Structure 1
Amino acid sequence: MELALPLWFEAGSLVVLTLILVADLLIVYKRPHVPSMREAGLWVAFYVGLALIFALLMLVLGDAEHAGQFLAGWLTEYSLSIDNLFVFVIIMARFSVPRKYQQEVLMVGIIIALVLRGIFILLGAQLIESYAWIFYIFGAFLFYTAVKQAFSSEAETEEKENGVIRLLRRSIRISSEFDGSKVRTLVDGKKIFTPMLIVFIAIGTTDLIFALDSIPAIFGITTSPFIVFTANIFALMGLRQLYFLLGGLLERLEYLKYGIAVILGFIGVKLVLHAMHTNEVFFINGGDPMLWAPEIDTWTSLGVIIGSMAVATVASLIKAGHDAKKRGITLVEEISVNANE
């Protein structure tokens, strides 16, 4: 389906979103601090509200299909971004990043993620336009990722330190202490790197891995580069505040990974069915389309995404509540105690 949105809306949207991101970055740079629950909640609500207004504008200026594609894409990317936060938490804990400077680390991570996803979106759009069979590969990759997501353990994630960081540790001298958010500091009259460099690289490589998962997933919902990119921007905006809002709740969303696995698996199947329906690969069905293969519509996709995340979140909170009760405390009280530590 060809994009039917006015060019001025596309260009204007990208300009406004860029200005919002720059303003957010300046706020973090000028006033590094640990946001309160109220502050973080207001910012998250602002960004979610902004995404819903954007979807409404797409409905008015385009049609329901485009608005639905954006909502489904945004929710998919948002759920994957929350999964990304789990790894950010592990990185922050492993390198003992002071809470005051975690906002800056997260903001840098978000900017790196936007750049990487922008590159992958351009590459993905070009591949789809030139090679329709790429949907088979995207679908198989997402299904593999879904299985890996469902059966991977948190211990496996915590034990891994990527090769780039190991090489860096061996190659350059790094101080044992942070110097604010600086990447370099002065020790005994010599300029050396701080652990913040390692943190930024860890966040960046994590973003790269998640971009490889998320871009094929959203291309399974829409092939419009504009919708894909804006859905990614809205999913990443507010992620910094969400990190502080959820706080200790993140580690209690035990079943979230299964919800994400269902979403990735569903989109993987959707992509393969679409590839079969429009098949041109000569060694599959003689190069003829398999018109019997059903095309899954946007609204069904949206329902599966919302349903999967809702079930996973509710189930996680119920289990976390029962576990907290066994320890003689309510879940809300336990989260509040951890947030104040």
Structure 2
Amino acid sequence: MTETIGTPWMWAVFAAFVVTALVVDILLLERKGSRRVTLREAAWWSALWVALSLVFAGLLWWYLDAEHGRAVANLKTTEFLTGYLVEKSLAVDNIFVFLMLFSYFAVPLRYQRRVLIYGIVGAIVLRAAMILGGAWLIARFHWVLYLFGAFLLVTGIKMWVFADNKPDLEANPVLRWLRAHLRITPQFHEERFFVTKDGVRWATPLFVVMVMVGVTDVVFAVDSIPAIFAITLDPFIVLTSNVFAILGLRAMYFLLAGFAGRFHLLSYGLALILIFIGVKMLIADFYKIPVFVSLAVVAAVLAAAMILSLVVKPGGRAQEDAR
């Protein structure tokens, strides 16, 4: 396994924290039933998850500074923050796909929370397995990093070229397979995934949406896992930055749901980030881009994409010119 700063007790404490966070989230979900999440609640929970991530970074720096010295503490904490920012930015793109799915299937807001929490649990399990598998591969076959870099470079270019294209869900092979092999009710049955009618079991549209969200998680994991390995090869930093980015996904979804159209240039920013990370991996044996430089580039590109999205309207005209 790749060398890591994570000790057994650090892995155990982090696992306990994740399980506790998910249990609390699920219990709150059950308690509130199908009541819709307000913007105020979403903002509060989003701020809480970001704050917890920063607290974790602070505790990590404090522990490493005492155990391994200031240089290691600064490096590993910067790796965590860079990885967290990259994964969080990719998660925003993931959220926009969720919005498209919920809009396409006309899922009421009050029914969306259960799908999201199951999707988050699945994403954590999936990414943990992929991260451990990726770390094992890299430790034994260093050339895999070049494949990751090439993949990210191609993915970033494709994302840039097709940034304005909306996916055609009607042609989606997974959705077509589900419709061909399942009995699907025409309407929702509250938050239920299956119902029985006259002794026959039917899937509800909410189950179909949950499957599509799971498939989306797989697609985005394939992009995000190579991206984080470009920042650090430490499995503990890779997993913690990924999980912290995912844990706040549900709250961030409801926070951004009303602003999705405002950040129309974000896909271009994410494309540039993936291209940068892909190049970083491909030239690693010739020149290692410092982690703090990667953090600055990712933050600057994201900020520019979001600011330009607010200034420039879709179609290229500035807000002032459109008045």
TM-score normalised per structure 2: 0.91
In the alignment, structure 1 segments of 5+ residues that lack a partner are 278-292, 329-341
Q: Does 1:208 align with 2:218?
A: yes
In 2, distance between residues paired with 1:158 and 1:184?
A: 26
In the alignment, structure 2 segments of 5+ residues that lack a partner are 65-72
In 2, distance between residues paired with 1:167 and 1:87?
A: 20
Aligned AA (1:41): A
In 1, distance between residues paired with 2:115 and 2:321?
A: 36
Contact kept? 2:169, 2:175, Cα under 8 Å: no
In 2, distance between residues paired with 1:48 and 1:320?
A: 29
Aligned residues: 311
Question: Which residue does the alignment assign to 2:11?
Answer: 10
In 2, distance between residues paired with 1:159 and 1:172?
A: 17
Contact kept? 2:49, 2:247, Cα under 8 Å: yes
1:87-131 per-residue CA deviation (whole Å, 9 max, x = no partner) reads 101100111111101111111111121121112111111110010
Question: Which residue does the alignment assign to 1:306?
Answer: 299
In 2, distance between residues paired with 1:226 and 1:206?
A: 24
Deviation at 1:50, TM superposition (A): 0.4
Tell me the secondary structure at the aligned position of residue 148 of structure 1.
Answer: helix
Against the structure 1 CA distance between its residues 114 and 153, is the aligned structure 2 distance closer, same or farther, given a 3 Å change threshold? same
Contact kept? 2:194, 2:201, Cα under 8 Å: yes
Contact kept? 1:6, 1:61, Cα under 8 Å: no
In 2, distance between residues paired with 1:327 and 1:178?
A: 41
In 1, distance between residues paired with 2:76 and 2:90?
A: 21
Aligned AA (1:24): D
Against the structure 1 CA distance between its residues 271 and 153, is the aligned structure 2 distance closer, same or farther, given a 3 Å change threshold? closer
Q: 1:40 aligns with which of 23, 39, 42?
A: 42
TM-score normalised per structure 1: 0.86
C-alpha root-mean-square deviation of aligned residues, in Å?
A: 2.0
Tell me the secondary structure at the aligned position of residue 192 of structure 1.
Answer: strand
In 2, distance between residues paired with 1:43 and 1:227?
A: 23
Deviation at 1:155, TM superposition (A): 3.7
Q: Which has the higher contact order (CA 8 A, sep 6+)?
A: 2
1:278-314 per-residue CA deviation (whole Å, 9 max, x = no partner) reads xxxxxxxxxxxxxxx1111111111111011000011
Deviation at 1:323, TM superposition (A): 7.2
In 1, distance between residues paired with 2:106 and 2:45?
A: 25
Question: Which residue does the alignment assign to 1:25?
Answer: 26
Aligned AA (1:312): A
Contact kept? 2:5, 2:236, Cα under 8 Å: no
1:226-263 per-residue CA deviation (whole Å, 9 max, x = no partner) reads 11111111101121111111222112201111111111
1:159-184 per-residue CA deviation (whole Å, 9 max, x = no partner) reads 46432221121122110011011111
Aligned AA (2:41): E
